[in-house]
Amino acid sequence: MKNPHAFRVYLTLSAASTFFNAVMFTVLTVYYVTVAGLNPLQLVLVGTVMEIATLLFEIPTGIVADLYSRRLSVIIGTFVTGAALVMVGFSSTFFMIACSLAVYGIGSTFLSGAREAWIVDEVGEEHASYVFLRTTRIRRIAQLFGTFVSVGLASIALSLPILLGGSLTVVLGVYLIFVMPETGFQPSVTAARSSWRAMRTGMADGVQLIQRRPLLRWFLMVAIVFGAYAEAFDRLGEAHFLINFDFPALGNFDQVVWFGIIRAGAQLLGFFGAGMASQRLQLDEIGSTVRILSILQLCWIGGVIAFGLAGNFYTALLAYWSIGAIQTVHQPIYSGWLNQH
């Protein structure tokens, strides 16, 4: 390995950022609903604002990583996302939360792909798979640990995990300034022009291909439909628990503990589901892969319908966990199939 110090920094960055995100996001929806008083439409809108900001700034901020410095891009993104979440923790209105999440979306574009590209530059492509495998395992542990810490902090004050997680993310940015090396970066002098040109060419080629092949129109329509209901589930799933169900008593603990259980259960089921799928599913044949994806998507639809129609808390909880496990198994299979074809 060319730069073992960079590997250690990357492990620290990955574990810390995953832990801080789990601390912040475990109770974020609860904060939106109970403190800020956001309704379902506003919950969807704040997410939409963040995604629009991400879309608009993806290429301009990506040029920083390609043309100037991947290290600089990662540090900027860490500072901006941390500061944005601190802003969320101090916000109690729809407008301020939407503005804060727009800033968060912009910050996330500095991080998008830059961390992975940086570590590949530092350790070499031949070691990348090992690095990412080690990182995935550490992230799973950090995410689970962060979920429980978030619940403990939220039992004191709902804004506390958001403020603390955001502040620690900013501290992480300071840490990176002093310890993050950059020895393998080779700037691309044509990064700006090639990025914009690739976007224009890709869009034009995609439109032409869809026009020539009617079957692709159906794939596009299916993707739009799945994207729409997946977005609704992601934004409103936890709010559905808060608004429409009475949480069973857990002794003297607050209902926020249930959100820790909900998150932790979904993470564990997804972990075991992905492990079983990787060992048992045969994905070498196209027909087999398509059948598996079709079954998973039908189960996904059934899970969402069951979640929406659930008449009691436990039925909704089982449906929610099932959807999370299906998503975890579905995503890598779909991505692999898409890359192959």
Fold (topology level) of 4-179: Growth Hormone; Chain: A; (1.20.1250)
Q: What is the pLDDT along the chain (341 residues), one digit of tens a residue?
A: 577 888 899 999 999 999 999 999 988 988 998 889 998 889 889 988 998 998 888 877 777 877 888 899 999 999 999 999 999 999 989 999 999 999 999 999 999 888 888 888 888 877 777 787 788 778 888 988 999 999 999 988 999 999 999 999 999 999 999 999 988 877 765 555 555 565 566 556 666 666 666 656 666 666 666 666 677 777 788 888 888 888 887 766 677 888 888 888 887 887 776 666 655 555 555 556 677 777 888 888 888 889 889 888 999 999 998 888 887 777 666 655 554 55
Query: Shortest CA distance to 119 belongs to which of 110, 104, 129?
Result: 129
- Segment 201-252, tens digit of pLDDT: 655 666 666 666 665 666 666 666 666 667 777 778 888 888 888 888 776 6
Q: Tell me how many degrees the CA angle 64-24-322 measures, rounded to the nearest 5.
A: 105
Please state the domain extents for the chain: 4-179, 213-340
pLDDT recorded at residue 165: 95
Predicted pLDDT of residue 128: 78
Structure letter (DSSP) for residue 125: G
| Backbone Cα Rg of the chain | 21
What integer pLDDT is reported at residue 199 of this predicted model? Answer: 54
Residue 43 CB-half CA count within 13 A: 23
Task: Give the per-residue pLDDT at 206.
Answer: 60
CA–CA distance, 284 with 3 (Å, rounded to integer):
36
Phi and psi, residue 170, nearest 5°: -65, -40
* pLDDT value, residue 233: 76
Structure tokens at 242: 């808060």
AA letter at 75: I
Its pTM surpasses 0.85: no
Residue 149: its pLDDT value, please? 93
Supply the pLDDT for residue 40.
86
The DSSP code sequence of 151-196 is: HHHHTT-TTHHHHHHHHHHHHHHHHHHHH----S----TTHHHHHH
pLDDT at 281: 56
pLDDT tens digits along 255-299: 788 888 888 888 788 777 666 665 555 555 555 667 777 788 888
Q: In degrees rounded to 5, what are phi and psi of residue 85?
A: -70, -30
Neighbours of 203 (CB within 10 A): 10
Neighbour-count burial for 225-244, b at 16+ CB within 10 Å, e otherwise: eeeeeeebbebbbbbbbbee
State the burial class of residue 171 (Cβ atoms within 10 Å of its Cβ: 0-12, 13-18, 19+): middle
